[in-house]
A = this chain, B = another copy of it.
Amino acid sequence: MDAAEFRRRGKEMVDHVADYLEKIEERPVYPDVEPGYLRSLIPTEAPVEPDSYEDIMKDVERVIMPGITHWHSPNFFAYFPAASSYPAMLADMLCSAIGCIGFSWAASPACTELETVMLDWLGKMLQLPECFLAGTHGHGGGVIQGTASEATLVSLLAARCKAIRRVQLLDPKKSEAEILSKLVAYTSEQAHSSVERAALIGAVMMKKVPTDSLYAVRGEMLKKILEEDKAAGLIPFYFCATLGTTPSCAFDHIADLGPLCNQENMWMHIDAAYAGSAFICPEFRPLLNGVEYADSFNFNPHKWMLINFDCSAMWVKKRTDIIGAFKMEPLYLKHENQESGLVTDYRHWQIPLGRRFRSLKMWFVFRMYGLQGLQAHIRKGTNELNQSLLKKITKSREIHLVPCQLSGSFVLRLAICSRSTEFRHIQQAWQHITQLAFELLQEHHH
């Protein structure tokens, strides 16, 4: 395929992509296939001579589509949102074309520098404390990881390295293996499985901290375990807090936990993978209070910020902590600007060596939507929409409700009032409300 054919096929593909997304609602969201369905639909070996492009595209519909779980269908409510937007897709096309592997500054300066600046832009949108930003003289800064799991692992490894060095400084006779066997990491019993997995990979003990009745970890709960563990000769070194747990969206109390971690010389990492995008709205930002005590913070713009996977944003307060845990400098990766201190070599910040030019899609999305557009995407509903819904409910005269105000939000309150109300009345009321809400949203979109 030469450039001329790519021009033709590429334009067809653009239409194909737009058609797919415009008509996605017509497809069944979850595929009706049995495990192993695909193997029998295609040859057992690669063709020796080329197939035609037409045949391949026919097979996309015949072989692939029947086995797709359509994450961008409006009927998809499983797992979590996979962000997607047209500007991000355009940027990814450009990223494929440039095709640089940005493991060091020299491997493509724009790839590294745009990433640093985009993470500063995004940090400012979240009102992260200054110390997390790179700026021109900062000690912190941001990096794009592939997934939140990798961000957790990277922070745990950095913390492990820092803890071993700290203990050895106090007691140089202690071997690394001895210290390692005493290190303990902590997280909520509600934390994502990837946190426990990070400890498994890092070969350190991990303990689950019990939560309160709202599934959140509080300072006193961690403190109690720390006292016991320290008394038993263990070395607490890392706590992973979650803002928005997977099962119930619980928020650990980082404003209490942070000072405790700081005092105990423990690294606090905050995982806000899904919820984090919301902090660009001032009304949700208080949920991030306490981040100033953290050593690292992470959330996934590829979940709720319109940037296609993979794009997990991570910030650290001291970039030397994270670089120190991984740095390897073979001659073939050295370049003359390396020692200047001005240069970021992102390969020291992550598990893989290679990396794509992922900040391009951040840049396109931030600019095409603007902060206001992104905030509108997070908020989706408005007070006005809720007011209209209440008007519709009142006008239809089937049920009766009154509203209230909660932290600036117009809220519809449903109280079970009458002695004669039965379960079926509540069910019917709920059905009625959702039906009217559905109609309202339909009108709103057209």
- The yes or no answer to A37 lying at the interface (CB within 8 A) is yes
In the complex, what residues of B have CB within 8 A of residue A17's CB? 6, 10, 93-94, 96-97
**Chain B nearest Cβ from A440, distance in angstroms:** 22
Q: Is the CB of B192 within 8 A of A181?
A: no
- The yes or no answer to A42 lying at the interface (CB within 8 A) is yes
* C-alpha spacing A196/B149, complex, angstroms: 22
Binds B, one of A82-90, A252-260, A288-296, A408-416: A82-90
Within 8 A of B (CB), among A155-200: 157, 160, 175, 177-178, 180-181, 192-194, 196-197, 200
With known contacts A37-B109, A109-B35, A353–B68 Cβ distance under 8 A: no
- The yes or no answer to A381 lying at the interface (CB within 8 A) is no
* C-alpha spacing A182/B49, complex, angstroms: 52
Q: Is the CB of B180 within 8 A of A330?
A: no
In the complex, what residues of B have CB within 8 A of residue A203's CB? 160, 180, 202-203
Binds B, one of A18-26, A261-269, A385-393, A398-406: A18-26
- The yes or no answer to A141 lying at the interface (CB within 8 A) is no
**Chain B nearest Cβ from A387, distance in angstroms:** 26
- The yes or no answer to A136 lying at the interface (CB within 8 A) is yes
**Chain B nearest Cβ from A55, distance in angstroms:** 8
In the complex, what residues of B have CB within 8 A of residue A200's CB? 326
Binds B, one of A57-65, A225-233, A428-436: A57-65
In the complex, what residues of B have CB within 8 A of residue A45's CB? 121, 124-125
* C-alpha spacing A328/B84, complex, angstroms: 28
* C-alpha spacing A116/B153, complex, angstroms: 27
A88-111 interface mask toward B, CB cutoff 8 Å, 1 = contact, 0 = none? 111011101111110001111111
Q: Is the CB of B146 within 8 A of A354?
A: yes
**Chain B nearest Cβ from A278, distance in angstroms:** 16
A330-363 interface mask toward B, CB cutoff 8 Å, 1 = contact, 0 = none? 1011000100101100000001111010001001
On chain A, the number of residues with a Cβ less than 8 Å from chain B's Cβ atoms is 139
Binds B, one of A207-215, A235-243, A364-372: A364-372
* C-alpha spacing A86/B5, complex, angstroms: 9
Q: Is the CB of A39 within 8 A of B180?
A: no
Q: Is the CB of B89 within 8 A of A136?
A: no
Cross-chain contact of A51 among B101, B117, B330, B368 (Cβ < 8 A)? B368
* C-alpha spacing A135/B136, complex, angstroms: 54
- The yes or no answer to A3 lying at the interface (CB within 8 A) is yes
* C-alpha spacing A136/B60, complex, angstroms: 22
Seen from chain A, the residues whose Cβ lies within 8 Å of a Cβ on chain B are 1-7, 9-11, 13-18, 20-22, 31, 33-39, 42, 44-51, 53, 55-56, 60, 63-72, 79, 82, 84-90, 92-94, 96-101, 105-111, 113-114, 116-117, 120-122, 124-125, 136, 146-150, 153, 157, 160, 175, 177-178, 180-181, 192-194, 196-197, 200-203, 246-247, 302, 308-310, 326, 328-330, 332-333, 337, 340, 342-343, 351-354, 356, 360, 363-364, 366-373
Q: A11-B14, A82-B101 are in contact. List 12 more A-B contacts (CB 8 A).
A: A36-B136, A38-B117, A45-B121, A47-B370, A47-B371, A60-B94, A64-B114, A79-B101, A89-B96, A200-B326, A201-B202, A351-B351
Can you list 5 A-B contacts with CB-CB less than 8 angstroms, sorted by A residue number? A10-B14, A31-B108, A46-B121, A63-B110, A69-B109
